[in-house]
Amino acid sequence: MALLARLEHIVKDFGAVRALDNVSLDINEGEVLGLMGDNGAGKSTLVKTIAGNFQPTSGSFLFQGRPMSFSGPADARREGIEVVYQDLAICDNLTAAANVFLGREMMRRLGPLRVLDHGGMNSRAAELFRELKSETRPADLVNRMSGGQRQAVAIARTRLSRSRIVLMDEPTAAISVRQVAEVLALIRRMKDQGLSVILISHRMPDVFEVCDRVVVMRRGRKVADKMISQSSPEEVTGLITGAIQSA
């Protein structure tokens, strides 16, 4: 697998708190990477640094061989780095299609003006939902939707552009068993299309079912980085709690 992105010696301080301590990490093309760790271990900070929400205090981020410096999530998105947030970051008062296109609406000409292309966005969103095999209807309000449909809306957002990395923050935390299977199937579909997926999760079975590699964080440091086939849920649990120092 070809190298897609490389984090080198990333440090992130919030005042006196060192949230990320000298983290280096390779991300390969078409790879599903499981990112595990206890609350406050630095998973979210790491993901937000890759996604451009945070600027690292020191260290470098190479993406497709080029050093990157993002001043915001829009920069990262332009390079093809997409995030599905834990709380899904969805506006309940807007339609599914409006949420999918939020921040990059399709426009059409109306005389001298450029206006929102409601029809175009609805049909493109409908296509995306069909690809995801979701029954979400583009013109429905999100506040009437189930957890799985909301998930589909959040994931459809990342499929709008030619994304290379999709960061998923606890996508299976608050949904039913059947919907978990749907989301995992979806992650495999993204991998098949050559996308790299970084899956942050507390759920050991999900990580061992869908990931190729697992990275464990503890108190801001990377304490393990190994192939799933060479690890075990017991070992990962030990690494997360600190019973095993590193592997």
Partner 1 sequence: MNSPNPPSMDIDLLKGSSRPWWNRLLMSQEAWVALAILILGLIVSMISPKFATSGNLLNVFQNACFIAIMALGMTPVIIIGGIDISVGSILGMCAVTLGVLLNADVPIVIGILGALLMGILCGTVNGAIIAYFRLPPFIVTLATLSIGRSLALIITNNQVFYEFGQSTQSIIAIGGGYTFGLPNVVYALIVGLIVLHFLLTMTRWGRYLFAIGGNEPAARLAGIPVDLIKISAYAFSGFMVAVTAVFLVGWLGAVTNAIGTGYELQVIASTVIGGASLTGGTGSALGGAIGALLVEVIRNALLIAGVNPFWQGTFVGSFILAAVLLERIRSLRR
Applying CB under 8 A, the residues found at the interface with partner 1 are 53, 72-74, 77, 83, 85, 87, 89-95, 98, 102-105, 107, 110, 115-120, 122-124, 126-127, 137-141, 143-144
C-alpha distance across the termini of the chain, in Å: 22
Closer to partner 1 by Cβ: residue 164 or 222:
164
Distance from CA of residue 201 to its chain's centroid?
11
Cβ neighbour number for residue 82 with a 10 Å cutoff: 21
Closer to partner 1 by Cβ: residue 12 or 77:
77
What angle, 0 to 180 degrees and rounded to 10, lies between the N-to-C axes of helices 147-158 and 118-131? 110
Residue 57, strand partner residues? none
Closer to partner 1 by Cβ: residue 37 or 52:
52
Task: In angstroms, give the least distance from the CB of 90 to partner 1.
Answer: 6
Task: In angstroms, give the least distance from the CB of 120 to partner 1.
Answer: 6
Task: In angstroms, give the least distance from the CB of 238 to partner 1.
Answer: 34
Task: In angstroms, give the least distance from the CB of 128 to partner 1.
Answer: 12
Task: In angstroms, give the least distance from the CB of 104 to partner 1.
Answer: 8
227 neighbors 247 (Cβ within 8 angstroms): no
139 token code pair: 């013109």
Closer to partner 1 by Cβ: residue 134 or 231:
134
Closer to partner 1 by Cβ: residue 17 or 91:
91
Task: In angstroms, give the least distance from the CB of 130 to partner 1.
Answer: 10
Closer to partner 1 by Cβ: residue 168 or 215:
168
